[in-house]
Structure 1
């Protein structure tokens, strides 16, 4: 047998072998077919890519630690329930809200807590200035985790505030994704923080050995700040100044929103961040809880919130199920914002179904995004949505990065998760489900400003696009399960 014949034979053996493995792993049909197609049409390379990132493999040690942390979370909520901190007056909400709480409790181990206060912020400069100010005022601890940190502009004021806080004895821990913030890790700011006494760690570092024990493209996409165990922040914003971040990407400034919270919800958010730190450092959980000031905070307001962490090893499909339940709960209006719209089949059907039963469904996405492949994949779903009566708005004033869903201005989802398969299946995310008309109304008003700065996508105009555009979109859609 000559070399070419041998190579072809080995290739098809790989195709058959990996095909059998894919079938036995039982992924979504679209995901399975996409991987099998890639392995078949890209000799050897497709098989290598599948072996590296084709399954939701995580380090066995990490998986054990996640399971242990989930038990800690459940004990935290059991204690909170005993003390009445999780008490929510469900009679003041729709039955769907209570069902969402039960769903999150059963699938993720996280229940709603009552009595929190919130401030919704959409001005990035104000967010960064307030963060720096609150870190300046910190007395005991600062706990931060972000997907991206980029130097420049007002982001540097937060860095200086951390350095000053560590200098006066405040316990400061910073966890930043190893890949999302790769340019930052190559700069001098991490060394400056360490020299000042700030503990800084990369989340989910990659390497040759790690690629054999787990996927290397699983990323920490969370954005959480906890100060003195009393104040917490979360939302879509990375630790960046949009005036300086990816200024040459051709998409304009990134547009984000964050929520500042006080009260009982701070505990669950802090628990998520502390758990992530423990996974990277193996520090005893009791020491982390003590130094971070984690406790069951008393009521500070009237808002009922539920923190839902998601990611490989934490929940099979908890976040997806929560999204589907929220969409199904809408009776009159559903408004969605997401920078990347690459839904799986169930989310696509849920959005189409909501529009089909008479709900006014609007989706706001940026006109331009920073990934060409994702842009085309997202556009491949527009026709399906428009045909069902979904209104699509193309935001023109930058890269709209806020991730939110508002149902009937009564319930909302707000956090770090995009409406895409990566957020649902691969990223470690944190999302708030909020059962409060005041929060939902305020978030809905913010969404209205996005719509005002958008152009409606008209079905007739969309149908007239070039055949080459259609082909490129549909080709990108074929591999959208892999994005």
Structure 2
């Protein structure tokens, strides 16, 4: 017994020493994340350290270099031109009640993310999975030159096979098909899922990192983007991944309520750039160069002015989060947010509280069920804090809401892949579309109000009636929020 006791305490001592050395050696890590990882490693001796090796280590300098070194293909001249227009105050801004603050938001994205403002786009908001995939596949079938696809989750089920068959048919007809998938999100498709597409001349590659994800010590950094570009003229981006659950066919989750965009116009070109940059950072031996056919400039086809903004662990600017902060601080009347995961950092929490306490109508909508138990419990904890600060929190009760949207004053709207959580702001590669269009923004307000009809209000009485066990689970999960 004495030997066992000595071995046990020696193991604890070594585990603690390794925890301190490993976590603190990465000096740029957020303090809250450091304490969360120390908690994991000390509470789960040995096993916690293994979890940290796979999920906790920062992205490698080699990967950061590969991503940062990719030039903004096809967009450099436009970026520089818009910077000059802003400097001379000659940029033709969208019509909004915010005036100078609109310029500030446009400038924020241009300076921090080189996100140009494209004008006169036609944008359709899609909130149903069947409609989204029907439109997408119809557009794919009409492709003449190229189809570029990025999805975080790509499943080999009914809709996954249907989409793949459409891509294969296009490849067989001589259309250039490139698919970039996340090796963790698409882990269930199998090693040979894309073989037939490749035999037809198409390409399918994992975003940086081997498909052998058990050997990949950077599991925590996922490409959460969803982008489809067809002939450089039509783009899709938003919350939907590829799988039958996104059609509401999984009984456990019920109806899947998500929000996606179909874009026509020059707003597609920054999506094209984002795809090509990600492709070149991941596929070393098949680098793509600029082609005029990738960037067909079009005339105005609609009324929406927009900016495509991306963020990821390769950049400490966190442009999407800063955009959310700026939007909330700009609001004069209302802020409506939908997100499946609500784990904001201190800056966002305080900005939302200030808005609410200042008389701004702040509404938040979250799901009524978890797809990730720890994340959901932490979400409830933060949502309850919002209720205590005057925010109206609605629990969507007609299935599972996966939409990631924010709209202020019925004027400015963001739809994208980024949740209101620390993971989306700091760990995942994300892309959001920020739109300056009163008609579209008011449409999103109406969508939100319609969703309220199938939701219930989280009240102080409901919170008071939570069991002690439920409250414990929420607070315990919240301890790990910086790394969830």
Per the normalisation by structure 1, the TM-score is: 0.91
Which residue, out of 38, 48, 56, partners 2:50? 48
| Unaligned ranges ≥5, structure 1 | none
CA distance in 1, matches of 2:83, 2:105: 21
Checking the alignment, whether the CA contact within 8 Å between 2:377 and 2:477 is kept in structure 1 is yes
Report Cα offsets for 1:327-357 as digits up to 9, x if no partner.
Answer: 1111111000011112222222222221111
Q: Residues 254-269 of structure 1: matches in 2 within 5 Å?
A: 254-269=256-271
Q: Which residue of 2 aligns with 1:372?
A: 373
Contact 2:36 2:482 in 1 (8 A): yes
1:476 is matched with which residue? 477
Q: What CA distance in whole angstroms lies between the structure 1 residues aligned with 2:143 and 2:432? A: 25
Do residues 236 (structure 1) and 239 (structure 2) align?
yes
Shift of 1:96: 2.1
Does the 8 A contact of 2:184 with 2:219 survive in 1? no
Shift of 1:244: 6.3
Structure 2 residue 133 is matched with structure 1 residue 136: no
Secondary structure of 2:279's partner? helix
1:355–1:390 Cα contact (<8 Å) kept: yes
In structure 2, the residue corresponding to 1:381 is in which secondary structure?
A: helix
Structure 1 residues 353 and 79, CA gap change in structure 2 (3 angstroms): closer
Partner SS for 1:259: strand
Q: Provide closer, same or farther for how the CA distance between residues 439 and 243 of structure 1 changes in structure 2, counting only shifts above 3 A.
A: closer
Query: Aligned runs of 1:349-428 on 2, under 5 Å?
Result: 349-428=350-429
The question of whether the paired residues in 2 share the 8 Å contact of 1:231 and 1:266 is answered with yes
Q: Residues 55-70 of structure 1 correspond to what in structure 2 (within 5 A)?
A: 55-58=57-60, 60-70=61-71
Q: Is the 8 A contact 1:233 1:258 kept in 2?
A: yes
Q: Against the structure 1 CA distance between its residues 260 and 74, is the aligned structure 2 distance closer, same or farther, given a 3 Å change threshold?
A: closer
Would the aligned equivalents of 1:108 and 1:314 in 2 still touch at CA under 8 Å? no
| Deviation of the 1:203 alpha carbon | 2.2
Q: Which residue of 1 aligns with 2:440?
A: 439
What residue is the counterpart of 2:95 in the other structure?
Answer: 92
String of CA shifts for 1:98-131, please: whole Å, max 9, x gaps: 1112222222222322222211122321221111
The answer to whether the Cα contact below 8 Å between 1:110 and 1:307 also exists between their aligned partners in 2 is yes
The one of 224, 227, 232 equivalent to 1:224 is 227
Please tell me whether the aligned partners of residues 87 and 114 of structure 1 are also in contact (alpha carbons under 8 angstroms). no
Q: How many residues align?
A: 478
Distance 1:209 1:157, change over 3 A: closer
Task: Give me the whole-angstrom Cα distance separating, in 2, the residues matched to 1:17 and 1:101.
Answer: 45
Once the two structures are superposed, residues 9-52 of structure 1 have per-residue CA deviations (whole angstroms, 9 ceiling, x without a partner) of 45335424543554462533322211122222222222332233
CA shift, 1:296, in A, is 4.1
Quick check: 157-166 or 131-140, which moved more? 157-166
1:348 match: secondary structure = helix
Distance 1:62 1:169 in 2: 33
Match in the other structure for 2:452: 451
* Gap change, CA 1:292 and 1:83, over 3 Å in 2: farther
Q: 2: CA distance between counterparts of 1:246 and 1:475?
A: 32
